[in-house]
Chains A and B, each alone.
Chain A
Amino acid sequence: MSVTPSRAGAVPDSRGTPPPRTPAQRRRALGLDRSAWFLLLPALIPVLVLSVGPLLYGAALAFTDAQAVRTSDTRFIGLTNFLDLRFDSLFWDSFGIGLTWSVCVTAGQFALALGLALLLDQNLRLRWLARTLALVPWAMPEVVVGVMWRLVYHSDAGVLNKTLTQLGLLHENHEKIDWLAGLSYALPAAIVVGVWAGMPQTTVVLLAGLQSAPPELREAAQLDGAGVWRRFTAVTWPALKPVAVAITALNFIWNFNSFGLVYVLTRGGPGGQTRLPMLFAYEEAFKYGQFGYAAAMGLVMVAVIAVLLTLFLRAKLKEEAA
């Protein structure tokens, strides 16, 4: 990304070497001229006040004993929150649940979305229906997705138990499974919902990636006699890979920070089996009023995500180089 002289500047000689820049041009390349600032400010100010500011403020709160209902002045307490957090086994349990959840959901989303994107890229009948249906979860409020799946998983009125019974997989007189309340079922059940809800974005992005690859390449490979699998590994995947890596990384972050779905599905139950870190921190902040402590949790989450992402992206880059 080399810095080009701004368009408002002198007319560049056609496509040749750029003319040496005047100091004014260099300044413009670094900053912005006045009218551009004027255009940018209306967006910049609210973002600074309500997004950058609060984030920094939130980070600072992690080092204080701020509480919702204040009995005394908020004090700076250094690393105390983090030291406490180290021995908070409930938090680390929830952290582990969060990691399991986001790894599984991200993997599921990717696998299913890739399959669907490949299918949608073919000329199949009913493609329009799948395309439309695939977008629906995106258009739905998170809360509704949660409610809907509660209806699916409901032990008596739910369609899942009904289907399983009809298929003979579940005994008619046997006790019905309460999917969201069973200690061992709740998290997997929630993960399925997470995959369902997050598939559309991934599918759209992957499909876009597929369609931006030149079809001639695949056709050429086909003429050369490459089979389906070989065409995928040799032509399609290399073109898709950058997009795939990017969306996987983003999905992972989003899933780790997910809140609404599980809040509606289980409220973190049964017995904390689905208590994602965001739910934990939310309760800490708005049920128990421990603002400082919850902010510290938030910071730890950011730090861990940053480390994991760095590792992931570095591994991918190394793969590329090899």
Chain B
Amino acid sequence: MSVPSPSRSRSPSLSAPTPPAPGAPGMKGARAMKRTPAKVRALRLAGGAGQYLALACYLIFLGFPLLWLLSTSFKTARELGSLDPAWLPRHPGLDNYRAAFDAQPLLRSALNSLVVACAASLISVTVAVPAAYALARHRSLVGRASSVWILVSQTFPFVLVIIPLFLVLKNLRLIDSIAGLIAVYVVWNLPFSLWMLQGYVKAVPPSLEEAAAIDGAGRVRTLVSVVLPLLAPGLVATLMFSFVTAWNEFFFALVLLKSPENQTMSVILTRFLGAEGVADLGPLAAASVLATIPGLVFFALLQRRLVGGMLAGAVKA
């Protein structure tokens, strides 16, 4: 993103006794000393302008589709039908939102998504905490195998998993059932939960546990009353993250849930598209906006933690 600096074309010899070398990319130390303050300032200005230009491009690329989705969701049907779409809705209204609820069992599917995501995230984190502790504190063959598995499980194409899962769940009569989907999400959320929590556990100084042990606390007691409170922020972050993952998931839900009254929001959204993809754009946009809200809220709360948590897992594992 280097911007051609205007200063270079200007006559350079204000104070430089030796002619400066042509602006070769690999310039060495001595050259920097020869730059006059004015030149340096101009260079810096150009660089800064270039950076802001690039930033603006990123903002447009990242933000524009989002704004368009929002704008579409508030447009009237007439406006959506026009051949020259306006940037902003001329008569913004909630008609599309109302129509979305009429067209598909949106409320029901939101409830399904909520139940599935809550249950899956709570169960997977509950199960993951003790395991993460064991993996973080004991280096062992099983621990290493689990770490490898965590990585490997991320790499398999889901077709290879979904067919046998489908058969297993069919035998258990858990196809087209929310319970079956929860079970699947718990297991497929576990690796990431373990990964994040392990990082948080390692951040808890073992000396605290040793102190508790000297004071006579048992293993479980130490875990519950010393480690767990310190893990709380990490726990919340992991919970929210696996909630969002489950809320957003599509493939498993598409295959495992058949009847509309059981489907989650992601799957219901695709029903707006119809068989040949001829969609009623307004309600579709409105429903999409609604489906995004929980994820956005949690990510807004998570912003800082997310980066920290991933790093904690990554650096120490």
> Contacts A119-B51, A136-B296, A154-B281 given: A295-B160 contact, CB under 8 Å?
yes
**In whole angstroms, how far apart are the Cα atoms of A156 and B190 in the complex?**
44
Report the minimal beta-carbon distance from B29 to chain A, rounded to whole angstroms: 4
Within 8 A of B (CB), among A275-295: 277-278, 281-282, 285-286, 291, 294-295
A39, A49, A157: which contacts B131 (Cβ < 8 A)? A39
- Determine whether the beta carbon of B291 is less than 8 Å from that of A157: no
A158 contacts which chain B residues (CB < 8 A)? Answer: 85
A131 contacts which chain B residues (CB < 8 A)? Answer: 303
Tell me if A35 counts as interface (CB < 8 A to partner B).
Answer: yes
Report the minimal beta-carbon distance from B174 to chain A, rounded to whole angstroms: 11
**What 0/1 pattern do residues 222 to 259 of A give for CB contact below 8 A with B?**
00111111100000000000000000001001101101
Which secondary structure characterizes the binding site on chain B? helix
- Determine whether the beta carbon of B130 is less than 8 Å from that of A55: no
- Determine whether the beta carbon of A159 is less than 8 Å from that of B68: yes
B69, B154, B184, B194: which contacts A151 (Cβ < 8 A)? B69
- Determine whether the beta carbon of B157 is less than 8 Å from that of A148: no
Report the minimal beta-carbon distance from A170 to chain B, rounded to whole angstroms: 12
- Determine whether the beta carbon of A54 is less than 8 Å from that of B164: yes
Residues of A within 8 Å of B, CB-based: how many?
112
> Contacts A61-B163, A257-B158 given: A208-B314 contact, CB under 8 Å?
yes
A252 (CB) vs chain B CBs: closest residue: B155
- Determine whether the beta carbon of B62 is less than 8 Å from that of A133: yes
Report the minimal beta-carbon distance from A32 to chain B, rounded to whole angstroms: 5
**What 0/1 pattern do residues 35 to 48 of A give for CB contact below 8 A with B?**
11111101110110
- Determine whether the beta carbon of B137 is less than 8 Å from that of A285: no
Tell me if A138 counts as interface (CB < 8 A to partner B).
Answer: yes
- Determine whether the beta carbon of B149 is less than 8 Å from that of A47: yes
- Determine whether the beta carbon of B159 is less than 8 Å from that of A282: yes
Mark the stretch among B11-19, B229-237, B248-256 that contacts chain A.
Answer: B248-256
A126 contacts which chain B residues (CB < 8 A)? Answer: 55, 59
**In whole angstroms, how far apart are the Cα atoms of A109 and B278 in the complex?**
30
A43, A139, A298: which contacts B244 (Cβ < 8 A)? A139
**In whole angstroms, how far apart are the Cα atoms of A53 and B161 in the complex?**
9
**What 0/1 pattern do residues 110 to 150 of A give for CB contact below 8 A with B?**
00100110110010111101111111111111111001111
> Contacts A29-B139, A39-B134, A139-B298 given: A149-B65 contact, CB under 8 Å?
yes
- Determine whether the beta carbon of B59 is less than 8 Å from that of A227: no
Residues of B within 8 Å of A, CB-based: how many?
108
**In whole angstroms, how far apart are the Cα atoms of A140 and B247 in the complex?**
9
B149, B159, B311: which contacts A212 (Cβ < 8 A)? B311
A61 contacts which chain B residues (CB < 8 A)? Answer: 163-164
A291 (CB) vs chain B CBs: closest residue: B163
- Determine whether the beta carbon of A302 is less than 8 Å from that of B128: no
Tell me if A204 counts as interface (CB < 8 A to partner B).
Answer: yes
**What 0/1 pattern do residues 48 to 68 of A give for CB contact below 8 A with B?**
011111110111010000100
**In whole angstroms, how far apart are the Cα atoms of A228 and B251 in the complex?**
44
A107 contacts which chain B residues (CB < 8 A)? Answer: none
- Determine whether the beta carbon of A46 is less than 8 Å from that of B187: yes
A44, A227, A295: which contacts B159 (Cβ < 8 A)? A295
Report the minimal beta-carbon distance from A51 to chain B, rounded to whole angstroms: 5
A116 contacts which chain B residues (CB < 8 A)? Answer: 58
- Determine whether the beta carbon of B159 is less than 8 Å from that of A285: yes
B69 contacts which chain A residues (CB < 8 A)? Answer: 144, 147-148, 151
Report the minimal beta-carbon distance from B85 to chain A, rounded to whole angstroms: 5
**Can you offer 10 A-B residue contacts whose CB atoms are under 8 A?**
A36-B137, A39-B134, A50-B186, A66-B167, A115-B54, A135-B303, A143-B269, A147-B269, A278-B157, A278-B159
